Amino acid sequence: MPGPLTGLRIVVTIPPHVWFGGVDYDFAVEMSEELRTLGAEVFDLEIAGFHSGNANYIAGAIEGLKAFRPDVALPLPNALYALLCVTREGRNILTDVLQIPTVMLWDHGLLQLPRQILKHQPSIPAEAQGDAVRRLRKVMNHALYCHYSPDRGHVAALDQLGVVEASKVHFFLQPAYPNFVRHGYRPPGSNAFRTRVAFAGNVYLQASKDLPFRNQPVLAGIESRVLAAKKARLTECLWDLFLTEIQALDKPARKELRLEPDSTFFWNFVHEEIELVGNTDVRLAVLTGLKREFEFYGNFVEPKSTETLLGQYRIQFRKCLDYFTELPLLFMNSDVIVDVINLGYNSGISPKVMGCFACGGFVLFDYKDDFRKTIGDVANQVMYRSVDHLNTLVDEYLTDARKRRDVSRYLQHRIATEFSFAALAKHILVDKPVWRR
* pLDDT at residue 299, as a whole number: 75
Q: Are 404 and 301 in contact (CB under 8 A)?
A: no
206 lies in a domain?
yes
- Does residue 402 sit in the same domain as residue 287? yes
93 lies in a domain?
yes
- Does residue 145 sit in the same domain as residue 165? yes
DSSP 70-110: -SEEE-SSSGGGGGG-B-TTS-BIIIIIS---EEEE-SSHH
Q: How confident is the model at residue 288 (pLDDT cuts 50, 70, 90)?
A: very high
- Does residue 292 sit in the same domain as residue 360? yes
Q: Are 272 and 424 in contact (CB under 8 A)?
A: no
How many angstroms separate the CA atoms of 350 and 364, rounded? 13
267 lies in a domain?
yes
Is residue 304's pLDDT more than 90?
A: no
- Does residue 230 sit in the same domain as residue 151? no
Q: How confident is the model at residue 303 (pLDDT cuts 50, 70, 90)?
A: confident
- Does residue 292 sit in the same domain as residue 208? yes
What integer is the mean pLDDT of 19-47?
95
- Does residue 253 sit in the same domain as residue 337? yes
* pLDDT at residue 192, as a whole number: 82
Is residue 230's pLDDT more than 90?
A: yes
- Does residue 151 sit in the same domain as residue 289? no
Residues 6+ away with beta carbon under 8 Å from 218 = 249, 253, 257
269 lies in a domain?
yes
Structural domain range at position 369: 178-418
Burial status of residue 90 (CB atoms within 10 A of its CB: 0-12, 13-18, 19 or more): exposed
* pLDDT at residue 308, as a whole number: 85
What are the start-end ranges of the H helices in 289-386?
306-313, 327-333, 351-358, 369-375
What integer is the mean pLDDT of 353-358?
98
- pTM of structure: 0.96
Q: How confident is the model at residue 290 (pLDDT cuts 50, 70, 90)?
A: very high
2 lies in a domain?
no
Is residue 191's pLDDT more than 80?
A: no
- Does residue 263 sit in the same domain as residue 408? yes
- Does residue 290 sit in the same domain as residue 429? no
Q: Mind listing the pLDDT tens digit for each residue in 82-101?
A: 999 999 999 999 999 999 99
Q: How confident is the model at residue 40 (pLDDT cuts 50, 70, 90)?
A: very high
* pLDDT at residue 289, as a whole number: 98
DSSP 306-328: HHHHHHHH---EEE---TTTTHH
What integer is the mean pLDDT of 104-128?
97
What integer is the mean pLDDT of 126-138?
98
Q: Mind listing the pLDDT tens digit for each residue in 396-434?
A: 999 999 999 999 999 999 999 999 999 999 999 999 999
How many angstroms separate the CA atoms of 262 and 174, rounded? 30
The CATH code of the domain that includes 55 is: 3.40.50.2000
- Does residue 238 sit in the same domain as residue 157? no
220 lies in a domain?
yes
Q: How confident is the model at residue 80 (pLDDT cuts 50, 70, 90)?
A: very high
How many angstroms separate the CA atoms of 364 and 381, rounded? 8
How many angstroms separate the CA atoms of 356 and 359, rounded? 6
Q: Rounded mean pLDDT of the chain?
A: 96
How many angstroms separate the CA atoms of 253 and 123, rounded? 17
Q: How confident is the model at residue 309 (pLDDT cuts 50, 70, 90)?
A: confident
141 lies in a domain?
yes
* pLDDT at residue 77, as a whole number: 97
* pLDDT at residue 305, as a whole number: 83
- Does residue 41 sit in the same domain as residue 184? no
Q: How confident is the model at residue 313 (pLDDT cuts 50, 70, 90)?
A: confident
- Does residue 67 sit in the same domain as residue 129? yes
Q: Are 64 and 31 in contact (CB under 8 A)?
A: no
Number of domains the chain is built from = 2
1 lies in a domain?
no
